[in-house]
Amino acid sequence: MSRLLADRSVPGGAYLPRALTAGRSVPVHLLALAVVVWLVALPFGASAYTVGVVGRILAFGLFVASLDFLVGIAGLPSLGHGAFFGIGAYAAALLARDVTAVGPAQLAIAAAIGAAAAGVTGLVTIRSRGIYFVMLTLAIGELARQVADSWTSLTGGANGLAGVPALKLIPGGGSVVIAGHIYWYVLAMTALAFGLLAAVRASAFGQALKGLRDNEDRMRALGYSVTGLKLAALFVAGGFAGLAGSLWLTQLRFVSPADVGFTTSALALLCVVIAGSGSLWGSFVAAAVVIVVRDELGTVIGGRGPLVLGLMFIAVVYLLPRGLAGLVPGGLRPQPQPALGTGVAE
């Protein structure tokens, strides 16, 4: 991977992402190992409630990572990514109800449908740049919510789809109902998907996407198909979002138009911003922070989740400007002189 990084002849190549260089040190490896051991051992020691919360954080963290791939790696700031998460969840719910309760099959199909939906809408959105892209993706996410709301025969309308059949691991097998077992399934699938996403990021394709983020015109001049790269990035991110939606559904066994909508997209984007874009690992930490703060703190002050969320947005924008580095094409890169890269591509 480091060879690829050194070789690429795009601007920004001189600035090795800090996460990659820092990740080589031993304490970080030890910390990662400790976290993995803790995650695996969690159902032995923690309450079913805690296990449920962590399981949801894993699924949502994977969704955030897929958005981070789009925003932080490919430089495509989407405000409608929740659409593909929701589509994945709906697909898994309908599959479980009408076709098969086998989890891995649901995952594969939800990912395929999420990717396809992202690809189709991408045909429209990639024609735009910068702020137009933000507005278009926002509109698409909201339209997806409206579709989920109004296509009652398929989606159950505003009531959503409740009582989805429980997970099965193999065809003809028994239903998995113990919280710890469902959690392990989610953990294993999240780890697998995350590894795959990290591999995509480290691949030549991932490096080309970073080049696109840093300087689209240069990449075009180098002979890359900018349109093709963007479309592929949306396709990949949509697929992982659909997969995450399927994992989310497996745990909650309920999906409603709210999961498709703008709030979900905005929440994920908030996580990306908190994480500091481009570090896929950080997605899970940020997802944990946001979900715990919204659910726990929101309950404490009387079910005002959106209020807490709104205040978090405002606080993060003002207080964590470095966490925002690299969100917008041509925006700030993590580099010593922060003022240099401002607004180049705009």
Partner 1 sequence: MTGWLSDNLASILNGVALGCLLFALAVGLSLVFGVLDVLNLAHGSLFVAGAYAAWRLADDGSLAGFGLAVVLAAGIGGAGGLVLTVATRPLAGRGHLDQALLTLGIALVVTEVVQSWFGRDPHGVLPPLAGSVEIGGGYPIYRLALIGAGLALALAVDQAVERTRVGALVRATVCDPDMVAAMGVNTLLVRSGAFIVGGALAAVAGVLGAPLLGASPHLDAQVLLLALVVVVIGGLGSVRGALLGALLIGQVQSLGIALAPRQAPFLLFGAMAIVLVVRPAGLLGTRAAAA
Which positions lie near partner 1, rule CB under 8 A?
Answer: 77, 79, 124, 127-132, 134-136, 138-140, 142-143, 146-147, 150-151, 262, 266, 269-270, 273, 304, 306-307, 309-314, 316-318, 321, 324, 327-328, 331-332, 342-343, 346
60 closest CA partner among 287, 289, 297: 287
Q: In this complex, which beta carbon is closest to partner 1, that of residue 38 or of residue 151?
A: 151
| Cα angle value 236/289/342 (rounded, 5°) | 60
CB of 170 to partner 1, least distance (A): 38
CA dihedral 313→315→316→317, nearest 10 degrees, is: 80
d(CA 27, CA 19): 14
Quote the least distance from Cβ 217 to partner 1, whole Å.
Answer: 11
Structure tokens at 338: 């922060």
Q: State how far the Cα of 107 lies from the Cα of 192, in Å rounded to an integer.
A: 12
> Would you say 259 and 242 are in contact if contact means Cβ atoms under 8 Å apart?
no
Smallest gap from residue 57 Cβ to partner 1 (A)? 21
- Burial category of 274 from C-beta neighbours within 10 Å (exposed 0-12, middle 13-18, buried 19 and up): buried
Output 29 or 129, the one with its CB closest to partner 1: 129
- The whole-angstrom separation of Cα 169 and Cα 47 is 23
Measured from the CB of residue 67, what is the shortest distance to partner 1 in angstroms? 12
Considering the complex, state which of residue 150 and residue 159 has its C-beta at the smaller distance from partner 1.
150
Least Å from the CB of residue 295 to partner 1: 16
Using CB atoms within 10 Å of the CB of residue 329, give its burial: 0 to 12 exposed, 13 to 18 middle, 19+ buried: buried
Amino acid identity, position 61: G
Minimum CB distance to partner 1, residue 263 (Å): 8
> Which CB sits closer to partner 1, 10 or 139?
139
Cβ atoms of residues 112 and 239 within 8 Å: yes
Among residues 56 and 149, whose Cβ is nearest to partner 1? 149
Q: Which is nearer to partner 1, 223 or 343 (CB)?
A: 343
- Identify which of residues 239 and 261 has a Cβ nearer to partner 1 in the complex: 261
Q: How far is the CB of 131 from partner 1 (least distance, A)?
A: 5
Using CA of residue 25, residue 28, residue 32, residue 37, what is the dihedral sign?
positive
Q: Which is nearer to partner 1, 79 or 236 (CB)?
A: 79
Q: Are 216 and 233 in contact (CB under 8 A)?
A: no
Q: How far is the CB of 161 from partner 1 (least distance, A)?
A: 19
Give the tokens for residue 136. 């278009």
